[in-house]
A and B are shown apart, each in its own frame.
Chain A
């Protein structure tokens, strides 16, 4: 049971590693396609700007291997924060950029005139009933983002978060799990979520 955490120079990767260690899950931080291919799960973490994230994925030669493992081999996959956003067809931070395109939609800036941006801090999930995220409904998770994913296919949306308007907080489709929030930074709730992702896909 090993998890490959995709290391593409986009921030908080070691926090994800620490979270996996805390729940006793074997893991490896890597950008090596062979290591990613051998792993049982893939986690795509990250903080940063969309364009830079895609550039790093492409420069590291990871787009093809990730697409093969996740979209064709259907390996359990968890994407966090910028990881979730990179699944989109298109991003706009800071300029229009093509994403991985696994989930149709566009990542755009949060426009809330009377709210502070970024949306920063703990906020509770409004989770869909009966889904993977249902047990985390009304639970606090840590968010930090100025952009949000406008997902086209509403059935992919597993949880929303309210901040002026409602924004996509989590996506679930087949083997793809993605969170706009940071489970690795959300203490007990977050560890429980990561543990559930591992357990349910064992």
Chain B
């Protein structure tokens, strides 16, 4: 049976790991290489590393740091931040990334996803979507002036050959009060692609709630690992109790 995935997410500002709340107030939480080493030693299922300011600051990833992070990992790693070209993806795969995570370029130039998917295969192309409720609709949050609903975006990305979607609930980010179950249920119905549900995990009970009330098969988290004593293994043990297949 396919095991559910518990994925630590490292968000990076170009120098250090940071953790935001509702995508604001980045707070420094440590060194990425050290964090990757700890997660590897704990045998986590996967790791996602995102340079969350690369696109906004119009710069590329620091490949030396990314290389050092990946070097620590004997599990799959997804890398995102500032990816605009086939060459950007090639450079990341060459140093050992398994997947690339694309957000801004998927919004500004959706056809790039088709090009990248045909070149590298769908399994390599993960899309990150930041979702925020506006009036009564879930919209893709961005600072580019692009208006697109969650539904439209997810359907479009699947059609263009994305292999996975990371779904960030913007208002739940860093709040540690539980996941946006409504959004996750809605998104799950829109696509056959694997979804990584992100935003709001702070207690073990939140994960139980997530997996009991949605078809979620993968969850991404940061705050709970930075700010509590809980490890990915604690979450897995919790999920095992409710009968979910986990890799321990």
Contacts and interface: CB of A to CB of B under 8 A. Distances in A.
Contacts of B164: 118, 120
Given A22-B74, A47-B98, A185-B75, A121 B122 contact: no
B1 A121 contact: no
B98 A185 contact: yes
A11 B163 contact: no
Given A142-B75, A185-B74, A121 B98 contact: no
B30 interface: no
Interface string B1-29: 11111000000000000000000000000
Nearest to B193: A116
The A interface is mostly helix, strand or loop, or mixed, namely mixed
Contacts of A15: 70, 96, 98
Contact of A122 (B3, B70, B98): B3
A140 interface: yes
B74 A48 contact: no
Most A CB within 10 A of own CB, among B117, B120, B121, B218: B121
A93 B43 CA distance: 32
A182 B74 CA distance: 10
Contact of B3 (A9, A123, A184, A187): A123
Interface in A144-196: 144-146, 162-163, 182, 184-188, 190-191
B71 A18 contact: yes
Interface of A: 9, 11-15, 18-19, 22, 47-49, 52, 82, 93-94, 115-124, 140, 142-146, 162-163, 182, 184-188, 190-191
